[in-house]
Structure 1
Amino acid sequence: MTRHWFADDLETIATFWCILRRDGVTLGFTSHDADLWLDGVLHRASPGMVPSAIRKSADFEADSAEVRGSLTDEAIDSADLAAGRFDGARVRIGLVDWETLERQVLYAGTIGTVSEEDGAFSAELVSRKAELSRDATPRTSPTCRAGFCAPGCNLNPQAFTREVRLAGIDPAENAAFFEDDPEVAPHVGGRLRWLDGPQAGAETMVVGGGSNGALVLDLPLDEASPAGTRALLRQGCDHTLETCATRFANAVNFRGEPFLPGNDMLTRYPGPLQ
């Protein structure tokens, strides 16, 4: 039987929201004045965090919601927000009866844009219905549309992933040195996921090579990371047919149209025959 919320003059109802980050960390919060255990997750009493109005529609238009709050809980700080640890995290928001723990999820989606100002943050949420607005027909492109070692590419990620240990950090270049000096070129565009240390669980992209064979990363490095910190390093791919064929011998799974004429064909002038 479905409960009718707010049907009586006096209700024992609070809101709750659960955040499931991509690095495996799960955080729970509630507007109740005491912590609540829901689905095995401790939801901390955080009156400084409130979900704004949730708009739900019966059609295919994406639902909208937003979460605002102050950085008063130790589980959420400006460093984690800046490092992107909450980007793309899954979110569930709902109502809970703090006496019976009966609850109902009102909104489910992922965190989109996160902004911070004067010790407070706001996060826009993207509902699952937003996936219905995506074009199901792939667009043509000269480069491969499949993610490296993802469905469509079909390469085994284990064959291109290795465990490395941190040897040092160059803060000026935001670059990291690793033991055994992994070659830079094959790893540009690849991913690095920290296994321990202060940034454990965080994932970053290799954007280039620094001095002395260091790997330049796209997210800020924590200078407190000690030497020997373990990480998983995966190679990258520039998504061109040449790389797919010569480096990975995987041209049969190339998801692109490198020889299809583009829109610039309309502006080309004829040239003399050779």
Structure 2
Amino acid sequence: MKQIPASLVTHLSGDTTTHCLLLRVLTKSGDLYGFTNLDVDVTYNPATVDPYSTGDDWGSASHRADNGFTPERMQATADLSVDNTELQGWVAETGITEQQIRAGLFDYAKVRVYRVNYMDLTQGHELVLAGTCGETTFSRNGWKAEFRSLTQQLKQPLSQLYSIKCRAKYGDARCGKAFVWTAGTVTSVGSETDRIFTDTSIAQADDFYALGVVEWLTGDNAGAQMEVDSQISDEVTMALPLPYPIQIGDTYQIRQDCDKTREMCRDTHANLVNFRGEPDIPIADGGTLMVPGAYIRR
């Protein structure tokens, strides 16, 4: 059952109400952003007025009206289906910028939405939504972030299955390898200015960083990460285009990753002892599957 402070319930039950929604977003970098669908900023800290412990401990924030948001139809069910809606906001000259959104500001961010009486914030809040951001898109006038509720986490597998490739993520506790980032600076840009760049300081063998990750530290793409498609000598080609063209002088950091095969785990990372796959499991013969009538029982 949802817990709402009695004074707020009394207000919401009245003939005239003065309530608004507050959206709070805690990014993976630990930065807190606040938005409201009201036409003025609202400063609120849910931890200070929280008789039922429904608020977060992220601290006080000024919930901005110029970057204000409007939630679409909120879908929730009584079973364990994932609650879903979309949060729409606008881009202003201050606050959240187009560049931050395209660089993945909302990726994996924690989200909470509260309903409050903006004329009397001491009445506390109603917790409307709690979860994480899904896919974020940008349009000409603003941004749109998909909301995914906490019940989505219940849909994750709890047991490990046999697999040909390693089940561990490169760099996690099961893998045991630590990320080794190498800093660099762009010295020239290739024909595809949003995918290809050169750094004369790269001295590793060809494809040493293939399947790795580049994280941009400065420039228009600051904060964005992208997988490496290939690395030939000192030229790096990324898997997908970046939001903005790469500029000479942009700084970045790059690291290796793994394709989860036994060969790469053994030969490249010398980490076979922590390999979590079963590559010798017999698999179906692809050629047999192409023979007409091969699986017809007689």
TM-score, with length taken from structure 1:
0.82
Match of 2:281? Answer: 260
Alpha-carbon shift at residue 106 of structure 1 (Å): 1.7
**1:33-92 superposed Cα distances (whole Å, 9 cap, x missing partner):** 211223332211148620123233343221122213444565445555444443333222
User: Are the equivalent residues in 2 in contact too, given 1:83–1:219 (CA < 8 A)?
Assistant: no
**178, 197, 204: which one aligns with 1:176:** 197
Q: 1:151 to 1:100 in 2, by over 3 A?
A: farther
Alpha-carbon shift at residue 187 of structure 1 (Å): 1.0
Q: 1:179 to 1:128 in 2, by over 3 A?
A: farther
Does the residue aligned with 2:285 lie in a helix, a strand or coil? helix
Does the residue aligned with 2:64 lie in a helix, a strand or coil? strand
Alpha-carbon shift at residue 122 of structure 1 (Å): 3.3
Match of 2:36? Answer: 30
Match of 1:146? Answer: 168
Match of 2:51? Answer: none
**1:3-49 superposed Cα distances (whole Å, 9 cap, x missing partner):** 14412222231101122333554322101221122333221114862
Alignment of 1:50-89 (within 5 A): 50-72=70-92, 74-76=94-96, 78-89=98-109
Return the alpha-carbon distance in structure 2 between the equivalents of residues 7 and 120 of structure 1: 34
Match of 1:130? Answer: 152
Q: 1:167 to 1:221 in 2, by over 3 A?
A: farther
**173, 185, 188: which one aligns with 2:207:** 185
User: Are the equivalent residues in 1 in contact too, given 2:67–2:90 (CA < 8 A)?
Assistant: no
**12, 26, 30: which one aligns with 2:18:** 12
Alpha-carbon shift at residue 254 of structure 1 (Å): 0.7
Matched residue type, 1:132: L
Q: 1:225 to 1:19 in 2, by over 3 A?
A: farther
Alpha-carbon shift at residue 2 of structure 1 (Å): 3.7
**1:174-220 superposed Cα distances (whole Å, 9 cap, x missing partner):** 1122241243412111112222333322222212236x631112341
Alpha-carbon shift at residue 153 of structure 1 (Å): 0.6
Does the residue aligned with 2:208 lie in a helix, a strand or coil? helix
Structure 1 residues 4-13 or 130-139, which shifts more? 4-13
Match of 1:248? Answer: 269
Return the alpha-carbon distance in structure 2 between the equivalents of residues 224 and 253 of structure 1: 37
**184, 193, 198: which one aligns with 1:164:** 184
Return the alpha-carbon distance in structure 2 between the equivalents of residues 266 and 104 of structure 1: 60
Is 2:259 aligned against 1:238?
yes
Structure 1 residues 40-49 or 244-253, which shifts more? 40-49
**1:121-143 superposed Cα distances (whole Å, 9 cap, x missing partner):** 43321112111012212232211
Q: 1:163 to 1:60 in 2, by over 3 A?
A: same
Q: 1:47 to 1:117 in 2, by over 3 A?
A: closer
Return the alpha-carbon distance in structure 2 between the equivalents of residues 45 and 65 of structure 1: 20
Matched residue type, 1:249: A
Alpha-carbon shift at residue 164 of structure 1 (Å): 1.9
Q: 1:53 to 1:187 in 2, by over 3 A?
A: same
Unaligned runs of 5+ in 1: 270-274
Return the alpha-carbon distance in structure 2 between the equivalents of residues 169 and 135 of structure 1: 43
Q: 1:224 to 1:100 in 2, by over 3 A?
A: farther
Matched residue type, 2:27: R
Return the alpha-carbon distance in structure 2 between the equivalents of residues 85 and 54 of structure 1: 23
Unaligned runs of 5+ in 2: 45-58, 292-298
Does the residue aligned with 2:263 lie in a helix, a strand or coil? helix
Q: 1:223 to 1:80 in 2, by over 3 A?
A: same
Return the alpha-carbon distance in structure 2 between the equivalents of residues 124 and 52 of structure 1: 10
Q: CA RMSD in A?
A: 2.9
Return the alpha-carbon distance in structure 2 between the equivalents of residues 74 and 182 of structure 1: 41
Alpha-carbon shift at residue 144 of structure 1 (Å): 1.1
User: Are the equivalent residues in 2 in contact too, given 1:31–1:46 (CA < 8 A)?
Assistant: no
Does the residue aligned with 2:116 lie in a helix, a strand or coil? strand
Return the alpha-carbon distance in structure 2 between the equivalents of residues 171 and 222 of structure 1: 14
